[in-house]
Structure 1
Amino acid sequence: MESDVTRRGVMGLGLGAALTIPAAASFAAATPARARAPGSVGIAVVGLGKLSLGQILPALKLTKNAHLAALVSGKPEKARKVAAEFGLPDTAIYTYDTFDRIADDPGIQIVYIVLPNSMHAEFTIRAFKAGKHVLCEKPMAVTLEECERMIAAGKAAKRQLMIAYRCQFEPVNVTAMRILRDGTIGTPRLVSAVMGKQTDLSDPSDAWRLDMAMSGGGALADMGIYGINATRYLLLEEPVEVRGWARTDRNDPRFKTVDDMIAWQMRFPSGAIGEGSSCFSQPGTMSWQAIGSDRRLVADPGCFYGGNTLRIVGGKGDVQPSVAEIDQFGNEMNWFADVVRGRSPNIAPGEEGMQDMRILHAIMRSVANGGASVKIDAGYKRAHDPATTVGIRTSI
């Protein structure tokens, strides 16, 4: 961000085109662009920070249903270099001030917001006013009121809003959802998630995450959202009660406005419990496990950009499902391209992003009140289960 699957085939990639990649690797600048499918959808990427340069733009060299149509950046020289790599003219480069001119560019159908969280609402609403569909990075926004305005703006413009929950398009996680649904591990009782990394104030991409006004929640908003969202899609239900606790060293200059480690518990209607932690002062970790009445399902790592693994533990012995790795970002963008073309359902609409924001804010309220229980009763129900909607290739 800029700041100064079982046997049904690969449905989610659109037109059955798989994207096979090396684990956890960025794509080299020399990677040739994939041939576009008829009606390929043009995407404007807003923000040219680490995520865009390392993951999103390289993935757009592999997507078939979507292609890079424009760049929006506060650093014109950086944008010109990227544009030259993709063969884009200078007219396809916009600044944050000239962003609204995208309304006059028919080659742009989707705007992908890859900015600090505090800027998501503004640019999402501006994109809708320009008549474009929006793919927005998570967390969706900083406040619930911003989420409401984003959703309302999309409906008013009659355009699609999807939140970039890449793990809902990632083979290990989709496979895990299917294993939980088919009863392989028995009745799910506990999902435990650990998400964190070591941050550095001298790194601009970390600095804004350590600023409460820009991030809206520090490690909880940045890393914890993966564990919260994973618990929800693994269990396929919504929590009714949460609790949270924080541990933060205020003498550490990184944590002047945000908490460092936050741990939480969530209670679900079925009786299952979700627990997790997020932290900005630990080695890079993105893992989860689901414990059932019969066996355990372990993903360690489970939410990295590549190299995720899955094991079924217990019973007659451990089993490791064989899952074909694909590019999560490419799969996600191909999927959204099909959403705006009316070919696929939107499995992560604004309402999905807002539900995570409700939970995040409830956890923070609990933390502020010494771990007191906070009830959640928003009536949200997921419209589409990724386990039965997103197609991937796997074998057990």
Structure 2
Amino acid sequence: MFQDISTAETLDRVAVETADTSCDASRRQFINHAGRGLLVAGLATALPLAAAEAADLDGFDTPAPPTGPLDIKLPPLEAPTDPKADPLPNPDAPDQRVGYAIVGLGHLTLGEILPAFGQSKHAKPVALVSGDPDKMAKAAKQYGIKPSNCYSYQNYDKLKDNPEVQVIYIVLPNSMHHEFTIRGAKAGKHILCEKPMATSVKECEEMIAACQKANVKLMIAYRIQYEPLNRLAMKSVRDKQYGKVKLLNMVNTQNQAHDQQWRHKKALAGGGALPDIGLYCLNTSRFLLGEEPEEVFAYTYSTPGDDRFKEIEENVSFTLRFPSGVISQCLSGYGSFNAKSYAVHAETGTIKMDPAFSYKGLKQERVHAPDGKQQTEQPSNPDKQQFALEIDHMAECVRQNKQPYTPGEEGLQDQRIMEAIYKSAKEGKPVKLTAGVGKLDAFRGTPPTEEQA
């Protein structure tokens, strides 16, 4: 069924995926929970109607509606004066969920995205695409995906004949996003694409055009814009809870392995720290304020003799100036200890996120002085699985025919600004950005529903 891809394609396709096929705890939990759910469903189906009535089991004698929500209601356990429990998860029935094909089986897919479907309410994984058939077979078995729904990069286009697949989630090296988005759109499937959207403005524009021509939706996976604590910070900024925002400070760094991974090759990554992790600083600045920067000034630097940074930048520092006067200072690097934080400095208070960009364990702190005495508050973290939130948002947009909150136009705008950042660093002077956007959230679509935030 699978053919080995050519030597010329090896760097771009097979070698970019890691060989980590171990089944970690989160994946085992997903499978165990799924198994228990199937067992309960089987017992309920087998239970005779008379026995169900005799046992007075609520609603077991009433067939479930074939479509629509299946929300279960229960009376509260706590008194009105006590804190309220979270709402029941109430996920969609399996046959009502939006089917996803996941393209690429590297660390992100195996460590975060496939496990996220265990916490999804509206989506399910139904197909895989990979250049490594052995690894794909193992992953398919772990997540209950049929062997017939496993595809190679070469027969990827056959997804058009699979009605189980409604959305394709592209999790490949940056330079491959363009090709697989366009091929996926031609197959008639909606596209959820990892960030950065592509490696050039031209590629982003072609991806948007291809999806528009095929009448399919295109969403870029900016998970921070769906994460509850970051959304809480955004709402406080927009509501001027602490007065006008004056300054933003963004930091995203990590020390990468010396393994010649695809992120160190410009042909695959398009750049270094900037498009991979510096993009969080850029996109989150725009997300918090809702504005678009009008000028950028940047520096880049790479440690001499470090083989990781022969082709790409190690460090990037850039300053964004917004029409409201807010200045955002952003730092990102590939060779220093892991740090992922930001601070919003407003007139009467500061909002800090540390960590801000990690997959889990985010923390927020607010410092202000309402009565002349400094106070520190720490909002609780709902700890929702960030990839499940974005997967569910895309599923709802498909079912309800809505524009995703982070569409292709959002990714295109970031690419424009990143190209200006590189130009500024090369020329050693500020670069003006396109003015006249005028409105807030100019490139965003329908906000996520409350259950997703």
TM-score, normalization: structure 2?
A: 0.78
Q: What RMSD, in angstroms, separates the aligned Cα atoms of the two structures?
A: 2.1
Deviating more after overlay: 76-85 vs 36-45: 36-45
Q: Which amino acid in the other structure matches residue 344 of structure 2? A: A
Equivalences for 1:61-76 in 2 at 5 Å? 61-76=118-133
Partner of 1:247: 301
> Is 1:361 equivalent to 2:360 in the alignment?
no
Once residues 140 and 232 of structure 2 are traced to their aligned partners in structure 1, the CA distance between those partners, rounded to angstroms, is 37
- CA deviations 1:269-325 (Å, max 9, x no partner) are 000011101100011111111100111110010111000011111324111112311
2:388 corresponds, among 330, 334, 354, to 330
Rg larger for: 2
- CA deviations 1:170-212 (Å, max 9, x no partner) are 011011111112222210011110001001131x6xx111111
Q: Cα–Cα, structure 1 residues 255 and 141, in superposed 2: closer, same or farther, change >3 Å?
A: same
1:196–1:278 Cα contact (<8 Å) kept: yes
> Is 1:321 equivalent to 2:375 in the alignment?
no
Identity of aligned residues (%): 41
1:261 corresponds, among 303, 315, 318, to 315
Partner of 2:109: 52
Please report how far the alpha carbon of residue 26 of structure 1 lies from its aligned counterpart in structure 2 after TM superposition.
Answer: 6.8
Please report how far the alpha carbon of residue 62 of structure 1 lies from its aligned counterpart in structure 2 after TM superposition.
Answer: 2.1
Once residues 111 and 244 of structure 2 are traced to their aligned partners in structure 1, the CA distance between those partners, rounded to angstroms, is 39
- CA deviations 1:17-45 (Å, max 9, x no partner) are xxxxxxxx972323223764352110000
Once residues 353 and 263 of structure 1 are traced to their aligned partners in structure 2, the CA distance between those partners, rounded to angstroms, is 20
2:190 corresponds, among 129, 133, 152, to 133
Once residues 248 and 50 of structure 1 are traced to their aligned partners in structure 2, the CA distance between those partners, rounded to angstroms, is 25
1:100 aligned counterpart, secondary structure: helix
Partner of 2:450: 391
Q: Cα–Cα, structure 1 residues 174 and 62, in superposed 2: closer, same or farther, change >3 Å?
A: same
> Is 1:162 equivalent to 2:226 in the alignment?
no
Once residues 232 and 217 of structure 1 are traced to their aligned partners in structure 2, the CA distance between those partners, rounded to angstroms, is 21
Partner of 1:27: 26
Equivalences for 1:30-109 in 2 at 5 Å? 30-31=29-30, 32-33=33-34, 36-37=92-93, 39-109=96-166
Please report how far the alpha carbon of residue 390 of structure 1 lies from its aligned counterpart in structure 2 after TM superposition.
Answer: 4.4
2:27–2:142 Cα contact (<8 Å) kept: no
Once residues 193 and 296 of structure 2 are traced to their aligned partners in structure 1, the CA distance between those partners, rounded to angstroms, is 26
1:147–1:354 Cα contact (<8 Å) kept: yes
> Is 1:224 equivalent to 2:278 in the alignment?
yes
Q: Which amino acid in the other structure matches residue 308 of structure 1? A: L
Once residues 396 and 13 of structure 2 are traced to their aligned partners in structure 1, the CA distance between those partners, rounded to angstroms, is 27
Once residues 272 and 376 of structure 1 are traced to their aligned partners in structure 2, the CA distance between those partners, rounded to angstroms, is 15
Bigger relative contact order, structure 1 or 2, given CA contacts below 8 A and separation 6+? 1
Please report how far the alpha carbon of residue 64 of structure 1 lies from its aligned counterpart in structure 2 after TM superposition.
Answer: 2.1
Q: Cα–Cα, structure 1 residues 352 and 378, in superposed 2: closer, same or farther, change >3 Å?
A: farther
Partner of 2:46: none
Equivalences for 1:174-185 in 2 at 5 Å? 174-185=231-242
Q: Which amino acid in the other structure matches residue 338 of structure 1? A: E
TM-score, normalization: structure 1?
A: 0.89
2:393–2:448 Cα contact (<8 Å) kept: no
Equivalenced residues, count: 370
Please report how far the alpha carbon of residue 48 of structure 1 lies from its aligned counterpart in structure 2 after TM superposition.
Answer: 0.2
Q: Cα–Cα, structure 1 residues 258 and 108, in superposed 2: closer, same or farther, change >3 Å?
A: same
Partner of 2:201: 144
